[in-house]
Structure 1
Amino acid sequence: MYVFVLDKNKQPLDPCHPARARELLKQGRAAVYKHYPFTIVIKDRELEYSVTHPHRVKIDPGSRTTGMTIVQDNTARCLFAAEISHRGFQIREALLSRRQLRRSRRYRVKQDTARHVFSIESVKVAGYHHRYSLGLRIS
């Protein structure tokens, strides 16, 4: 990975090696412009007096992630590479877990007993009817 370089007017120059960027920062000839991707600004350089080369951005779209790289045209050297993860699968997984939680709640068996079956009145009435059907006297 290389370090991106800007001139003092914030125009892009050719990227440099990280060791070269460290030297420029130690000497005070450059300042940090951005941390990701790491970019420096050279204080004493302008675009008109510099040699630049053409670069190309290549994109590889995938189903879960998209790959992106910056390549120098004449040498085919990779200067920067990144992967962009899509949110589609994260959303799908969140919906799936929510659906599973709902189903587990819906099909969970409740342990409540039917209280009207065991009430005292229903037991007495059932007992009286049983005695009448046997022909017994109620005393």
Structure 2
Amino acid sequence: MAMRLEGDVSEVQRARRDVSRVLAAWRIPRAIDDALLVANELVANALVHTGGDGIELVATYGDGLLLVEVRDASDEPPSPVADAGLDVCGRGLAMVHALSSDWGWTRRAEGGKSTWALLAVRRAESPKRRVEPREGCS
């Protein structure tokens, strides 16, 4: 899944909605809450700290791992707040760290950066079909 985002905070809601749909289609509903929070924080950080130009949200799934990646035009690394105390702001990357197996950022060859989080997830099992015994069988 890949989507371009405009430089507006309303895009956070659209990103959440689209990620939720994709995770449901990929049959990994147990990961939806954590993945939505991670995507929300990464998108919001990109919008707030980079001016919102050229933001792209990418999600990929394979081998039990969900990668949530936000690409933006800024070369500045994300800067987690060491201790946000009672502040309302500044907790986003700490939440990403707490909810993901790993997270980080890389500079992109074409400029800008990619901030990513990796979540260990499992697909929902297919519902088991109940087999009724045939008449006369015990």
More contact order relative to length (CA 8 Å, sep ≥ 6): 2
TM-score, normalised via structure 1 length: 0.27
Structure index of larger Rg: 1
